[in-house]
Amino acid sequence: MPFVTVQLGQCGNQLGTQFFKSLIDDALDETTGCSKQANEDYQQVLLDRFFTDNAGKSGTHIYTPRSVLIDMESKVLAQSVAIAQQTKCWRYSAKQQFSQKSGSGNNWAYGYCVHGSRCDPGIEQVIRLQVEKCDRFDGFLCLMSLAGGTGSGLGTYVTEMLRDVYPRAFLVNQVVAPYKSGEVILQSYNALLTLAHLYESSDGLIIEENDHMQSICSRLLGLKNVSFQHINNVIAHKMLHLLAPATQSSTVANHLGHYIEQVYAHPSYKLSSLLTLPLMPESSLQYSTFQWDASIRTMRQMLIAKAYMEEGINWGVKVRPTSNYNKCISNIVVARGKDSSSLDMKSLSEPALYPRWMPAEERLHAYTSERAISGYEKSLSMLCNSQSSIDMIDGLIDKAWSMFVSRAYTHQYSRHGLNIDDFLDCFRIMERVIFDYRNL
């Protein structure tokens, strides 16, 4: 069941382009440790889920992503189109792009109130064309930032529009949180407004933090001058491991809708994070061995200790009544590689990790694939609906409130139609979210 990816703003478009590049690279990979037929079946499912096939006159296949590129400046879209064309095996078409001549100036209100209403009909039409290409439409994956103007402001507007136009479609937002040190002065306001509005309209949010991705790039991958392209590569790698074809009990495919139903079943808990291991440079793969038992123990400790990578995990955190460990609503694990279908994952579904009201059969959902991915003989990915993002969100809200009490910069939002009551409503929503997660 295919779904449509909506790439919003500079962050969303750069991330989406890297994601589809990773998908194509994986589909064309023949060194996967499985039979030729199994590899061909996997490739067909992956390509059908994420691409449409436009066969050329010479019989070559040119794949077009099931996605829509949206930005208020055409420069970003042109860069994405150029990157795709360089590969010569996939491309973006002009009919799946929407852009204007000016951006949003890092102002959420301008993206939401001005660009949103002005561009609504055009954006809806571009998205509808992609939806109609799906034989069995599964939903939307929206890629966007929390801090910018177009990505967060217009991205929020588009998310709400999709909820109104497609009320029965599954809808999940992958959002990238800004550096704590600050990228723009208004990022705390933008993040507050984005999170609060998305919490009302989206089925679930997958949150990635730039600070975490920076550490992974420098500490695990050994990169000295980390760029946003490196960060996008890591996020795209994690998305690939989660969303590439896999099955539950060898029969149920890992559709986007199944993920949403299993991880975000409770409407008050929509925050999630994504853990993947191993993560290492390609040069280290040939010197590494992977054992399932060790990987599961490491993943469990990453989960309870709120660790985002396997290096530097606090192994002192224990699951005890008096311990400050990470508590979960529900989790999905995807295991890829030889013997993955026979894994024992009981340690990841320990009752103490979850609320008492969560049914035992809904705590952990496991998907497997015998096909290796990204050169890793064995790999694990976990989508966690837990407390792991609350500290970061609480910090952003505190910064926003410190500015708001003195009405700093609020005039930049009010002149585009956003008033004080709108801010207060968003603070109320997010304070309730933080309270609910803190008291799991």
User: Residue 181: is its pLDDT beyond 90?
Assistant: no
User: Which among 192, 209, 223, 234 is positioned nearest to 424, based on CA atoms?
Assistant: 192
**Do both 187 and 219 map to the same domain?**
yes
**Do both 197 and 305 map to the same domain?**
no
What does the pLDDT average to over 143-154? 88
User: Which among 361, 353, 359, 346 is positioned nearest to 388, based on CA atoms?
Assistant: 353
Read off the DSSP letter of residue 373.
Answer: B
Provide the pLDDT for residue 317. 92
**Do both 347 and 412 map to the same domain?**
no
Number of domains in the chain: 3
Comparison of pLDDT for 91 and 103, the residue scoring more: 91
The SS3 of residue 385 is: strand
β-partners of residue 248 are 252
User: Residue 218: is its pLDDT beyond 70?
Assistant: yes
Residue whose structure tokens are 């949150």: 207
What does the pLDDT average to over 144-172? 92
pTM of the model: 0.94
User: What does the alpha-carbon distance between residue 97 and residue 423 come to, in Å, rounded to a whole number?
Assistant: 32
CATH number of the domain at 216, please. 3.40.50.1440
**Do both 199 and 231 map to the same domain?**
yes
Instruction: Record the tokens describing residue 97, joined without a space.
Output: 């792009």
Residue 216 in contact with residue 307, Cβ under 8 Å?
no
**Do both 158 and 245 map to the same domain?**
yes
Read off the DSSP letter of residue 199.
Answer: H
Provide the pLDDT for residue 312. 87
Read off the DSSP letter of residue 68.
Answer: E
Provide the pLDDT for residue 377. 87
Q: Indicate the residue among 387, 406, 425 that finishes a domain.
A: 387
Q: Indicate the residue among 271, 293, 328 that finishes a domain.
A: 271
- The string of pLDDT tens digits covering residues 54-67 is 765 556 778 899 99
Q: Can you give the residue range of the structural domain that contains 350?
A: 275-387
Q: What angle do CA 127, 130, 135 make, to 5 degrees?
A: 135
**Do both 45 and 177 map to the same domain?**
yes
CATH number of the domain at 376, please. 3.30.1330.20
**Do both 113 and 250 map to the same domain?**
yes
**Do both 242 and 179 map to the same domain?**
yes
**Do both 308 and 405 map to the same domain?**
no
User: What does the alpha-carbon distance between residue 398 and residue 421 come to, in Å, rounded to a whole number?
Assistant: 18
- Average predicted confidence (pLDDT) for the chain: 91
**Do both 253 and 219 map to the same domain?**
yes
Q: Indicate the residue among 222, 250, 271 that finishes a domain.
A: 271
**Do both 15 and 144 map to the same domain?**
yes
Provide the pLDDT for residue 104. 66
User: Residue 149: is its pLDDT beyond 90?
Assistant: no
Alpha-carbon distances, residue 26 vs 15, 165, 240, 310 (angstroms): 17, 33, 9, 23
Provide the pLDDT for residue 322. 76
- The string of pLDDT tens digits covering residues 352-391 is 999 999 999 999 999 999 998 888 889 999 999 999 999 9
**Do both 366 and 399 map to the same domain?**
no
**Confidence band of 38 (pLDDT split at 50, 70, 90):** confident
- The string of pLDDT tens digits covering residues 298-334 is 999 999 999 999 888 999 999 988 788 999 999 999 9
Comparison of pLDDT for 436 and 89, the residue scoring more: 436
What does the pLDDT average to over 143-150? 87
Q: Percent of the chain beyond pLDDT 70?
A: 97
